[in-house]
Amino acid sequence: MDNFPETVEDFLDGQILLINKPLGWTSFDVVKKIKNLIRTKYSLKKIKVGHAGTLDPLAIGLLIVCTGKFTKLISKIQGQEKTYTGTITLGGTTPSYDLETEVDNNYETAHITEELIKDSTTQFIGEIDQKPPIFSALKKGGERLYEKARRGETIEIESRKVTVREFTINSIENLEVNFEIKCSKGTYIRSIAHDFGAALNSGGHLSKLCRTSIGEYQLSVAIDVETFKKLLNK
C-alpha cells in the first residue's frame, strides 16, 4: 500500500485501506482488528472504522476498510462493480450454496460437456433475477436469514434484480469450473454457483471465491492484516 498513514490525524481525517481478507475471517473480524490496532497505537477511546462490501468467511480477497471521516464514502464505494474469481464444483448442492454446509444432494454429471458449460454462462449475463442464499446476512423480520436457516426454518426469499456484465470460464478440471465474474452490488456469487448447476441439469456449489477488485481498487495492491500491523507500529 502506497503512502501508508503516518499520524493519528491521518486515520481520523479518513483513510481507504485495501486489505486482503484471509480465509475464515468475517469482514467484521477484519474491521474489529484494524480498529483495535489503531486505537491501541494512538491510545484512542474511539474511531470510526467500517468496510465497504461484505465478504463471506470462506471467501478471500479485497476488503476495503474506511476510517474516520471516510466512513461516509462506504455506500459510494460498495456500489461500484466488483470482480471475483472462483470455483464452482458441479454434481452436488449444499444448503448454504458453498462449503459452509455439507453436500445434501448429488446429481448426474455425465452429460456435462465443456461446450455446455460455456454456453450456459450466457443465461447469467445482463440483468438477471436472483434469489439470495438462505444462509446470508440479509434480515427478515428483524433477524438474519442465516439464524433462521440454522434453526431449520422454512423461509420464502424474494428474488431481486442484479447485473452480471461478464461471466468467463477460465478453465475446467473434472467437475471444477474456474471462473471470473464482473457484477453489480448485491450479486451473490454463491447463488450464481447454485443456479449454474441447475442450468446444467445437475447441481453446483461454490467451493472457492476471491474478490479481485471493487471499482478502481485492486487486490494486487492490498495488504494483509499482519502487514498493516507492522506498518502501523514501524
Three-state secondary structure call for residue 18: strand
Check: CB of residue 67 under 8 Å from CB of residue 47. yes
Three-state secondary structure call for residue 207: strand
174: which DSSP letter? T
Catalytic residue among 56, 98, 129, 195: 56
Catalytic, 29? Answer no
Closest CA to 82 of 183, 179, 167: 183
H/E element holding 169? strand 160-173
- Work out whether strand 204-214 and strand 60-67 pair parallel, antiparallel, or are unpaired: parallel
Pairwise CA distance, residues 133 & 192, whole Å: 10
Annotated catalytic residues are 56
